[in-house]
A and B are shown apart, each in its own frame.
Chain A
Amino acid sequence: MDAQNTIVINGNELPFTPGETILQVAQRNSIPIPTLCHLKNATPTGQCRICVVEVKGARSLVASCAAPAAKGMVVLTESPKVIEARRLVLQLMLSSGNHNCAVRVSDDQEWSRFQLDVNQYDQSNELCPVWGDCELQHLAYQYQVSAERFPRTDVPYPMEDINPFIVRDFSRCIKCGRCVQACNDVQVNNAISFGYRGTDTKIIAAEDKPLKNSECVFCGECVQACPVGALVEKNARYRVRPWETKQVRTTCSYCGVGCQLNLHVKEGKVVKVTGVEDVAPNYGSLCVKGRFGFDFINSEERLTTPLIKEDGEFRKASWEEALSLTAEKLGAIKQTDGPDAIGVLTSARVSNEDNYVANKFARAVLKTNNIDHCARL
């Protein structure tokens, strides 16, 4: 280890490689520093000021996501000054818009008025759709702040839910910019950006058009990146709370990229899909099909029993009957016309294990090499 390149964080001397930020060194050593605007693998913007830390000798607090580690630096991540600064940032965020979760402690009357207001905006009488699954709420709890400190300000922009996939709720947006980076720097779809100024700031698509009339391709990268309830999957909103689901990791069944995804399962049904972070090939990214194209799993039109055609009509059959009939027919044709009178089309859709068994079936059972799949098509 090069003794020159170390910094001290909370009393621990830690090595770093030049170019690493204070945040990166801390994260690598499991020292938690909260972040909101920070999006992994994107250039830090220092927008939200939640990740500030105290650096000995510096005149003011520094944003750890953007400040490079320098040799001999002495850093405190949770000093009284730091905590005060973070509380202020959180209080400001909570005072703007509809953060109607448990952190808005207030006297009963004010709460009732607020909640009724929000309910009207939301067209729902529940708490925020991501209640319990929100990074802002989590930090508010950690730093024990509420929204009382500042007077509440309203957000003038109505909710946008006229596309099939994503609900944009500007009243809960903290203008952290993660979605803008997700869209422009990760997926590079260049659909959304910061619009207007100051307190009117809004995340806009094109010249403030609905997403569906913009360059947006509904990859949902922005939804996965949003730390709060401002961008939520339409099909999961209010319907899926994380504690009601279990997640199963699997591989997307559409194209050959093989994105890793988590299927969120509630009551035996897949209700939501997210990309698996930190692992190849997609590192959390998905496209519209992988993220939103799962309705077919629960479709009413799924085949549920074997069927046999009689006089041009299908009738239900038992497995025993259908399998025996198939074996009998294939066996008879093999007997009279030879193995090469039978062909097998296996599938680029099913698993390796399924394909291997189909290949063995054609070759070892039917004794023909007439096996192919439609993938070349």
Chain B
Amino acid sequence: MTNTIGDLEEADVILITGSNTSENHPVISSYIKRAVKFNGTQLIVVDPRRIKMTTFASHWLRQNLGTDVAWINGLMHVIIQEELHDKAFIDSRTKGFEELKAMVEKFTPEYVEEITGIPAQQLIDAARLYAGAKNAAIVYCMGITQHISGTDNVKSLANLAMLTGNLGNAGGGVNPLRGQNNVQGACDMGGLPNVFSGYQPVTSDAVIQKMEAAWGVTGLSNKVGLKVTEMIPKALEGELKALYIIGENPLVSDADLNHVVKGIDNLDFLVVQDIFMTETARAADVVLPSACFAEKDGTFSNTERRIQRVRKAVDSPGEARDDWWITTQIAKRMGVDMDYENAEAIMAEIAQVTPSYGGITYDRIDFEGLHWPCPTADHPGTPILHKGQFPIGRGNFHAIDFTPPAESTDEEYPLYLTTGRVIYHYHTGTMTRKSEGLNERVPENFVEISSKDAKAFGVSDGDTIEISSRRGKISAVAKVCTTAVSGTVFIPFHFAESAVNMLTSAALDPVSGIPEYKVCAVKLAAAQ
């Protein structure tokens, strides 16, 4: 997030898109709902489903799946047309405005309606509302990123914020909500193929030299590595021979599961480190038991870049050990000494080699976490990014055209499927499905379907039905409800025994490598 969670209560207008906030980030949704209820904040929701947040919104725009660039360009078209853009901000802080203007020229409300299904007048109203606000915040989540055009979608939202001067201001900004507790931290700490911790590029000689000196090693690779979505095909081709998987369950979470299973099977060696015998661990040659969050000291970085303490409350069961300890023990047996006395000693090294974490110590974050960038011991942290200036100097507008999603419906597969989560479960369910209470609330997989579609396909509430795509099929219980909009069904991805990712498409965003989980074509049939 460019801004903080608390900052949302300062916004005059909030635009939520691709985030089922009340289910996936409940506590953030409360900030937004309070802003609407008590501060008169106006809420715009752009979402293909009639999610709970739409009941708090003054404007709900329902777009066709995978058409986000089109409506965002449409908003910008109206804003420029009606001269609602922030000229001072554009002049002093950005470049590329003319190219953007030329690109959005053709995205008239009527043209956008054709692509997205959003009535022209609704688009115009939303544009006026967003651009007319003093401070307008954008909130988004996986509904924006899990598309082949995910990177384009994100850049388009940044365009929209810059166009209206909504960066660097309290109550504004572009705010991605991170799904998992420490996605932010995994990225910050170099859990990415192209950067060391703090986003220092592996392709920079200066960075390589610095890291070699800090770590006391030579021969660090300056070649960008494989993304997870590239590793699987490489495993299938036999080029990738071994995988060391820490705390992840790609055998449920990855798009086009059949493909993933084959890739994993083809490895010479798989080692999985986890707290449970997950579907992925079952496929391993060696399984290493690790400690869960309640059993370890350390830090997580939340979605607003706040680095917060994790503290050991109980002992881990049996011989389970801290993840970092296990990794350093393997390192030692491969001839590299990576000894740390404790997690705090690791943080000291992180601060030393990671500029944005330079000022972080356990003492400083003992009561309340700090927002990175926090480069020095006396730096107060950075709650709001891009105040006064961008790190790259001027912010770049990206002129982006609309590309349709990879898959569309046809006679055989007449319905769109989109995926996501429910409030009672989390990710692949390895943790939440062990909780009796959470399981009792949502015990089994379901498919959300509108009453109109239900009628058209002869489905009744509670029926077990078979859903198939061009890649596979699963069965699930039909839930006829008003959240679903006709033409599109929804299935959550928490359930290994009926994994929706058997159906999803593995078409990838060419830049981020994120699969298009949010759009594929399916058909329904009564279960055999």
Contacts and interface: CB of A to CB of B under 8 A. Distances in A.
A286 B423 CA distance: 12
A361 B56 CA distance: 47
Interface in A271-309: 279-282, 285-289, 292-297, 299, 301-309
Interface string A307-318: 111000010010
A343 interface: yes
Contact of A343 (B231, B281, B317): B231
Contacts of A89: none
B286 interface: yes
Contact of B423 (A289, A305, A331, A348): A289
Nearest to B435: A295
Contacts of B49: none
Contact of B311 (A249, A256, A342): A249
Given A248-B311, A254-B426, A286-B27, A164 B228 contact: no
A376 B513 contact: yes
Interface string B467-507: 00000000000000000000000000000000000000000
B205 interface: no
Contacts of A292: 435, 437-438
A305 B183 contact: no
B221 A363 contact: yes
Given A343-B231, A370-B240, A304 B317 contact: yes
Interface string A329-372: 11101000101111111111111111111111111110111111
Interface residues of B, number: 151
Nearest to B344: A353
B248 A352 contact: no
Contacts of B526: none
A299 B435 CA distance: 9
Contacts, number: 479
Interface stretch (A31-39, A140-148, A185-193): A185-193
Contacts of A47: none
Contact of B30 (A280, A285, A340, A354): A285
B429 to A, nearest CB: 10
Interface stretch (B62-70, B123-131, B332-340): B332-340
A268 interface: yes
Most chain-A Cβ atoms within 10 A of its Cβ — which of B6, B226, B289, B435?
B435
Contacts of B285: 308-309, 329
Interface stretch (A97-105, A197-205, A259-267): A259-267
Most chain-B Cβ atoms within 10 A of its Cβ — which of A303, A339, A363?
A303
A257 B228 contact: no
Contact of B324 (A288, A333, A354): A354
B304 interface: yes
Contacts of A295: 434-437
Nearest to B346: A353
B37 interface: yes
Given A279-B367, A327-B334, A329-B269, A351 B225 contact: no
Interface string B181-202: 1111111111111101100001
Contacts of B246: 344-347, 350, 354, 358
A89 B97 CA distance: 67
A371 B190 contact: yes
A188 B34 contact: yes
Nearest to A346: B191
A293 B431 contact: yes
Interface stretch (B107-115, B291-299, B444-452): B291-299
Contacts of A352: 182, 185, 188-189, 298-301, 307, 347, 350
Interface in B325-351: 326-331, 333-334, 336, 338, 340, 343, 346-347, 349-350
Interface residues of A, number: 108
Contacts of A188: 30, 33-34, 36-37, 56
Given A304-B319, A356-B346, A256 B434 contact: no
B255 interface: yes
Contact of A217 (B183, B255, B318, B423): B423
A165 to B, nearest CB: 5
Nearest to A323: B329
B193 A301 contact: no
Contacts of B299: 251, 351-353
Contacts of B284: 309
Nearest to B284: A309
A322 interface: yes
Contacts of A328: 333
A333 B287 CA distance: 18
Given A343-B240, A363-B211, A377-B517, A279 B368 contact: yes
Nearest to B211: A363
A355 B185 contact: yes
Contacts of B191: 346-348, 355, 358-359, 371-373
B346 to A, nearest CB: 4
Interface in B399-435: 423-424, 426, 430-432, 434-435
A60 interface: no
Contacts of B367: 279
B309 A356 contact: no
A299 B434 contact: yes
B219 interface: yes
A288 B338 contact: no
A354 B191 CA distance: 10
B10 interface: no
Contacts of A255: 24-25, 178-181, 426
Contacts of A329: 242, 268-269, 271, 285-286
Contacts of B186: 346-348, 350, 355, 373, 375
12 contacts: A251-B299, A251-B300, A251-B309, A258-B181, A287-B27, A288-B424, A323-B333, A347-B246, A356-B350, A357-B346, A363-B220, A372-B228
Interface of A: 164-165, 185-188, 212, 217-219, 234-235, 248-260, 263, 265, 268-270, 279-282, 285-289, 292-297, 299, 301-309, 314, 317, 319, 322-331, 333, 337, 339-365, 367-377
6 smallest CB-CB distances across A and B, nearest first, come from A304-B318, A258-B302, A369-B225, A256-B178, A351-B298, A164-B437
